[in-house]
Chain A
């Protein structure tokens, strides 16, 4: 299988890439890892006239940490997040190692996954749970938006045809607490799309009270979802079994899955509840808790 013919432009600087997207707009697609785009093009589900390869743009590489905040360049590969050591963000590596398979993770990028906006992708749920921000820019200006404003619909984002994602920012967890995070993914086999994916993170103070909570859901709606109702129930409370059970029920009610060959609507909703409960219980029990700055 091979794609429809296209013109290929390799950018070496961000400015060069922005010039190309400005010129070709809707006819062009950015080629980062290509692990979603190229399969789609081979299946002729996508046929952009121009591919703008950004793999040589050094400005878009690298992950930096400042005061607990993570800045991911748009070319950050899944494998970088899998093997990186960011103790204040335990959710990140746990989720990264469940994406596709190890070889795909060597090439696929975080920002590419976001731009592709498959509701069954993993990063959407994880970054919604973490209240991440996406920084985009066109030839003239840059802008940033919270993740929850980024996804518009299936395969549709707030990204304009002349814009490129330049950075993803994951905020620092609140200071003086314990942070826990888990990602659960139900899949039929290794590397398959999620039947259901759930990202759960929470920061607890010394007394076990929830300072912040994040719950993101994959594959149970037209976009990745943020279970804001369930998050609100948790904040300021202690993670008792009753509270956890209530939050899990609310999260399940906030999901809107479709029944398909991977499972019925009821089944997927039930799995959301199970995973939210499992994640919060694990955080309450301190399974993956990491101390955040002590002074």
Chain B
């Protein structure tokens, strides 16, 4: 995206979960709202809307970002991954399965962000310790679980992902 005049709507094209999608956005449209409202992928949640809670975390070019604090026009031409891209043909991703098995969620509102942050972490290194996981998800708030089962889920998913890689 080169130039967008104030209040003008321009087409924003990005690759989301492997699919190339285009939709109109104003310069001030935030990526989180673009994904939810314009692309109709409502798995990405907006929690605090103040860059604190991490519920809106998506991967942009593989890196976790808080999508409420990035402009949609900034994602033009980039690769975005959201929670909808995790399962394959109805089979849960190891992370999702581990959250299911370990009761890693209660209300589930923070879960999309937790999953995306953890995905980026485990892609870099699936063999993680409790300390590493706690540090990595420190930008994702959960008000239900007390984090214990989330941490357990991420460690277990990492073990599964490490085996799959071999």
Interface residues of A, Cβ cutoff 8 Å to B: 1-10, 31, 34-35, 38-39, 41-43, 49, 51, 53, 55, 100-104, 106-107, 190-191
B1 to A: closest C-beta gap in Å: 6
* B71 contacts across to A, CB distance below 8 A: 8, 31, 34, 38, 51, 53
* A103 contacts across to B, CB distance below 8 A: 54, 57, 64-66, 117, 139-140
Known pairs A1-B50, A103-B54, A107-B66 / 20 extra A-B pairs, C-beta < 8 Å: A2-B29, A5-B28, A7-B3, A8-B1, A8-B4, A9-B4, A10-B2, A10-B3, A31-B71, A31-B74, A34-B74, A38-B69, A39-B50, A42-B49, A53-B71, A102-B139, A103-B57, A103-B64, A103-B139, A104-B66
* B51 contacts across to A, CB distance below 8 A: 35, 38-39, 104
B116 to A: closest C-beta gap in Å: 9
- A-B contacts, 19 of them at CB < 8 A, read A7-B27, A10-B1, A10-B73, A31-B71, A35-B69, A39-B50, A42-B50, A53-B71, A100-B139, A101-B139, A102-B136, A102-B139, A103-B64, A103-B65, A106-B64, A107-B70, A191-B52, A191-B138, A191-B139
* 3 closest cross-chain pairs (CB), A and B: A101-B139, A8-B27, A103-B139
Query: Provided the pairs A10-B1, A103-B57, A103-B66 are in contact, do residues A5 and B6 lie with their beta carbons within 8 angstroms?
Result: yes
A53 to B2 CA separation, bound complex (whole angstroms): 9
Q: Contact: B50 with A34, CB < 8 Å?
A: no
A42 to B48 CA separation, bound complex (whole angstroms): 12
B73 to A: closest C-beta gap in Å: 6
Determine if B7 is an interface residue (Cβ-Cβ < 8 Å).
Answer: yes
Instruction: Determine the interface band of chain B, counting residues with CB < 8 A from chain A.
Output: 20 to 34
Q: Contact: A5 with B139, CB < 8 Å?
A: no
A10 to B73 CA separation, bound complex (whole angstroms): 9
A101 to B141 CA separation, bound complex (whole angstroms): 11
Q: Which of B70, B73, B140 contacts A8 (CB 8 A)?
A: B73
Q: Contact: A5 with B27, CB < 8 Å?
A: yes
A249 to B59 CA separation, bound complex (whole angstroms): 46
Q: Contact: A7 with B5, CB < 8 Å?
A: yes
A68 to B45 CA separation, bound complex (whole angstroms): 44
A39 to B28 CA separation, bound complex (whole angstroms): 12
Enumerate B23-48 residues with CB–CB distance to A below 8 Å. Answer: 26-30, 33
Q: Contact: B54 with A101, CB < 8 Å?
A: yes
* A43 contacts across to B, CB distance below 8 A: 50
Q: Contact: B70 with A9, CB < 8 Å?
A: no
Query: Provided the pairs A2-B33, A34-B69, A53-B74 are in contact, do residues A104 and B27 lie with their beta carbons within 8 angstroms?
Result: no
* B135 contacts across to A, CB distance below 8 A: 102
* B50 contacts across to A, CB distance below 8 A: 1, 39, 42-43
A55 to B76 CA separation, bound complex (whole angstroms): 12
Q: What per-residue 1/0 map shows which CB atoms of B130-160 lie under 8 Å from chain A? A: 0000011011100000000000000000000
Enumerate B1-26 residues with CB–CB distance to A below 8 Å. Answer: 1-7, 26
A215 to B43 CA separation, bound complex (whole angstroms): 46
Determine if B128 is an interface residue (Cβ-Cβ < 8 Å).
Answer: no
Interface centre among A8, A100, A102, A191 (most CB of B within 10 A): A8
Q: Contact: B28 with A9, CB < 8 Å?
A: no
A191 to B65 CA separation, bound complex (whole angstroms): 15
Determine if B63 is an interface residue (Cβ-Cβ < 8 Å).
Answer: yes
* A51 contacts across to B, CB distance below 8 A: 27, 71
Q: Which of A49, A55, A101 contacts B74 (CB 8 A)?
A: A55
* A190 contacts across to B, CB distance below 8 A: 138-139
A6 to B70 CA separation, bound complex (whole angstroms): 14
Interface centre among A5, A35, A106 (most CB of B within 10 A): A106
* A49 contacts across to B, CB distance below 8 A: 6
* A34 contacts across to B, CB distance below 8 A: 69-71, 74
* B54 contacts across to A, CB distance below 8 A: 101, 103
Closest residue of A by beta carbon distance from B3: A9
A190 to B: closest C-beta gap in Å: 5
A155 to B107 CA separation, bound complex (whole angstroms): 39
Q: Contact: A7 with B70, CB < 8 Å?
A: no
Q: Contact: A102 with B138, CB < 8 Å?
A: yes
